[in-house]
């Protein structure tokens, strides 16, 4: 069995839209040059199982093909547009496969389109240079009419690490597992703004259900190249107000228009509901097969699902809070109600307006005090220990947060591959005798070389400390590489 090389969150294609920030174009050019060198470097080190742990392609930010009515056809066109824009990345992946390495693509929130069979087929045909060696028999029980029928994944929709052969491509809709070794998933199901529920079949009428984060990206961020890509994870309400106010009244009016339009689309998303009954039924059916084939109890997977907060689009309050409309309404509603009541009672309007303003400020302050700041990296770190305990593995490996980290919590080691856009990745090495996962390193690819940031020994509490705590040792190892 091979060592594991984990990357995530490349977000390829994020510049393929009408209004795009200049740095995204430069970043795309950097990835086009650096990523093939990264793969070539590790190919020279041995044979690997490359796990692309979600958000490889940024379908949310691509506006090509919007005039096509078929969502699966749109996704295929966008996939080809991305690969055409990154010929070096495509060639690097092809050579990596031809060298005998395997590749697994775990679906993330930005590339849930990998759940469409036509997208998977198109991707395989390009990476395998048009020649698929042999399609697997569809034993999944999914009929031809299912939008998520799988001809090229295991019958459970989940791939065990030990089942992956050399030079093979696989797609995984939720998680990878090695019994007693590792649990690997993108991790967005623990982020309410990016989760849809029914992870194995998040569909309504055969179409993938959007999340509030996707609506915000498509209806606001993509139309505002002036805003930073990760602002949603960093900005407070006042940050947005200051950002818009600094650009003048006309710009503020445009921001307000797009903001209210975005909120309207989120309200429609809530009103229509999330995954439909057919999608939920298919998810439950797949979940039972996953549990049986993975040797897990249904209660284990159910417990993992229950650990995730309901999607923000599931409730009115979820939509209001994620858009800060709860603050706005709590401040504005008293300003409208108090003057009306005072006028009906025959009292002066200025008294009603003054009382309404005071009440609005008090209610908005209370709402703000009860809200918790969104911190995806910390939320995932907190949940990782429980995931490891529930699934019975010492390693829990995720992406999504864009924050590379390696920490030990009790008997569980949590590793996050961060975003490859800053070079972060994980390497998990096996014991050469037993084949068990023995060591994990957090590394960074920079300036054509690998820098080791931290490392932990798996399953040995006396050695389970981050090696980066010893600066001299870390510096010597960097020089040696």
Contacts of 392 (CB under 8 A, 6+ apart): 179, 180
Instruction: Give Cβ neighbours of residue 184 (< 8 Å, ≥ 6 apart).
Output: 6, 51, 53, 106, 175, 176, 177, 397, 398
**Residue in 331, 209, 353, 332 with CA at minimum distance from that of residue 268:** 209
| 200 φ, ψ (degrees, to nearest 5) | -85, -15
Nearest to 386 by CA among 183, 195, 194, 200: 183
Q: Write out the chain's pLDDT in tens, 481 residues.
A: 789 999 999 999 988 877 666 667 778 888 999 999 999 999 999 999 999 999 999 999 888 776 677 889 999 999 999 999 999 999 999 999 999 999 999 999 999 999 999 999 999 999 987 554 444 433 333 433 344 433 344 444 556 776 666 778 889 888 988 888 999 999 999 999 999 888 888 999 889 999 999 999 888 888 887 777 666 667 777 788 888 888 888 988 998 999 999 999 999 999 988 899 999 998 988 888 888 777 788 888 888 888 888 899 888 888 888 888 877 888 888 888 888 888 888 888 888 888 888 888 888 878 777 777 677 888 888 899 899 999 889 999 999 999 999 999 889 999 999 999 999 999 999 998 998 999 999 999 998 899 999 999 997 544 444 444 433 334 334 333 3
Tell me the CB-side half-sphere exposure of residue 455, using CA atoms within 13 A. 18
Bin 344: left if φ > 0, else alpha if -120 < ψ < 50, else beta: alpha
Q: Residue 136: what pLDDT? A: 44
Predicted structure pTM score: 0.85
First-to-last alpha carbon distance for the chain, in angstroms, is: 24
User: Which of the 8 DSSP states describes residue 12?
Assistant: B
Tell me how far CA of residue 100 lies from CA of 2, 48, 183, 272, in angstroms.
11, 8, 24, 47
Cβ distance 201 to 184 under 8 Å? no
Nearest to 185 by CA among 204, 210, 159: 159
């Amino acid at each position: 069995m091979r060592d594991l090389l984990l990357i995530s969150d490349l977000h390829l294609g994020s510049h393929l839209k009408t209004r795009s920030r200049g740095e995204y174009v430069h970043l795309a050019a950097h990835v086009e040059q650096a990523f093939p060198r990264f793969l070539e470097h590790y190919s020279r080190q041995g044979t690997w199982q490359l796990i692309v742990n979600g958000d490889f392609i940024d379908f949310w930010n691509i506006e090509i093909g919007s005039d096509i009515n078929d969502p699966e056809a749109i996704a295929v066109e966008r996939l080809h547009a991305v690969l055409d824009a990154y010929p070096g990345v495509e060639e690097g992946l092809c050579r990596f496969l031809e060298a005998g390495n395997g590749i697994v693509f775990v679906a993330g929130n930005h590339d849930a389109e990998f759940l469409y069979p036509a997208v998977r087929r198109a991707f395989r045909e390009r990476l395998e240079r048009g020649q698929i060696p042999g399609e697997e028999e569809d034993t999944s029980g999914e009929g031809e009419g299912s939008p998520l029928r799988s001809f090229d994944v295991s019958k459970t929709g989940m791939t065990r690490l030990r089942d992956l052969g050399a030079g093979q491509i696989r797609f995984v809709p939720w998680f990878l597992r090695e019994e007693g070794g590792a649990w690997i998933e993108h991790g967005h199901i623990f982020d309410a703004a990016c989760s849809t529920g029914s992870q194995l079949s998040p569909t309504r009428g055969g179409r993938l259900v959007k999340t509030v984060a996707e609506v915000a990206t498509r209806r606001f961020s993509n139309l505002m190249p002036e805003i930073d890509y990760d602002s949603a994870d960093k900005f407070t309400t006042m940050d947005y107000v200051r950002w818009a106010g600094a650009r003048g009244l006309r710009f503020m009016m445009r921001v307000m228009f797009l903001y209210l339009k975005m909120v309207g689309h989120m309200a429609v998303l809530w009103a229509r509901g999330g995954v439909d009954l057919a999608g939920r039924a298919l998810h439950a059916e797949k979940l039972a097969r996953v549990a049986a084939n993975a040797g897990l109890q249904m209660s284990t997977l159910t417990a993992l699902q229950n650990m995730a907060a309901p999607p923000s689009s599931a409730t009115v309050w979820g939509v209001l809070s994620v858009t800060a409309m709860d603050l706005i309404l709590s401040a504005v509603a008293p300003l409208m109600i108090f003057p009306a009541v005072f006028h009906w009672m025959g009292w002066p309007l200025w008294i009603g307006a003054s009382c309404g303003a005071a009440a609005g400020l008090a209610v908005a302050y209370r709402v703000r005090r009860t809200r918790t700041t969104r911190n995806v990296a910390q939320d995932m770190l907190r949940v990782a220990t429980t995931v490891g305990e529930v699934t019975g593995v010492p390693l829990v490996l995720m992406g999504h947060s864009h924050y590379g980290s390696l920490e030990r919590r009790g008997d569980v080691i949590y590793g996050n591959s961060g975003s490859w856009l800053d070079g972060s990745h994980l390497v998990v090495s096996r014991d050469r005798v037993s084949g068990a996962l023995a060591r994990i390193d957090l590394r960074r690819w920079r300036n054509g070389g690998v820098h080791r940031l931290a490392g932990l020994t798996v399953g040995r509490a006396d050695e389970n400390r981050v090696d980066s705590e010893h600066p001299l040792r870390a510096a010597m190892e960097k020089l040696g590489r």
